[in-house]
């Protein structure tokens, strides 16, 4: 899937507006995922998964940092996330269906923080980005 120049611009503009919230965004998305889709907890038996625990916050920051690298390198998401692709496929063996679940939760969190700015076009652009990220993280399964 290819992101258009307009979609790249929309992603980068909205991401920049999230500035002060970026630190907690990932934790919020993970909290939602563990609550709405409890089966995803099985990948994190070693974490304290209570809402907003340090483990969840800290892991959320790592996920957001990875998303930030993707946003800053939209023309080379594959190269940028290559190490994470190996990790999720070979070490963690995360079932690809889970990426869709986390994506849904990120959409909600982005909508909460961006309000009206997270309109249909922004939603579509971000959906495509999450698709691309998940595609890279899952590609080693094939």
* Binding-site ranges for ligand HEM (CB under 6 A): 40, 43-44, 62-63, 66-67, 84, 87-88, 92, 94, 98-99, 102, 133, 137
> Please, what is the Cα angle at 87 between 81 and 92, to 5 degrees?
140
Judged by beta carbon, residue 8 or residue 69, the one nearer ligand HEM is 69
Judged by beta carbon, residue 8 or residue 107, the one nearer ligand HEM is 107
Burial 71-87 (b: 16+ CB within 10 A, else e): beebeebeebbeebbee
Phi, psi of 29 (to 5 degrees): -65, -40
Judged by beta carbon, residue 14 or residue 40, the one nearer ligand HEM is 40
Dist. CA 100–CA 80, nearest whole Å = 20
Closest CB 100 distance from ligand HEM, rounded Å: 8
Closest CB 73 distance from ligand HEM, rounded Å: 13
Closest CB 66 distance from ligand HEM, rounded Å: 4
The residues near 138 (Cβ < 8 Å, ≥ 6 apart) are 85, 88, 89, 96, 99
Closest CB 16 distance from ligand HEM, rounded Å: 19
Would you mind telling me the total number of residues written for the chain in this entry?
142
Judged by beta carbon, residue 75 or residue 116, the one nearer ligand HEM is 75
């Amino acid at each position: 899937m290819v992101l258009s120049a307009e979609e790249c611009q929309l992603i980068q503009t909205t991401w920049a507006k999230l500035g002060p919230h970026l630190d907690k965004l990932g934790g919020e998305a993970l909290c939602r995922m563990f609550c709405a889709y409890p089966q995803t907890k099985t990948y994190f038996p070693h974490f304290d998964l209570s809402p907003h625990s340090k483990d969840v916050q800290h892991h959320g920051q790592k996920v957001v940092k990875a998303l930030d690298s993707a946003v800053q390198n939209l023309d080379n998401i594959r190269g940028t996330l290559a190490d994470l692709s190996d990790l999720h496929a070979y070490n963690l063996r995360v079932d690809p269906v889970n990426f869709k679940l986390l994506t849904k939760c990120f959409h909600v969190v982005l909508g909460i923080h961006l309000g009206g700015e997270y309109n249909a076009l922004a939603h579509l652009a971000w959906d495509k980005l999450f698709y691309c990220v998940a595609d890279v993280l899952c590609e080693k399964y094939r």
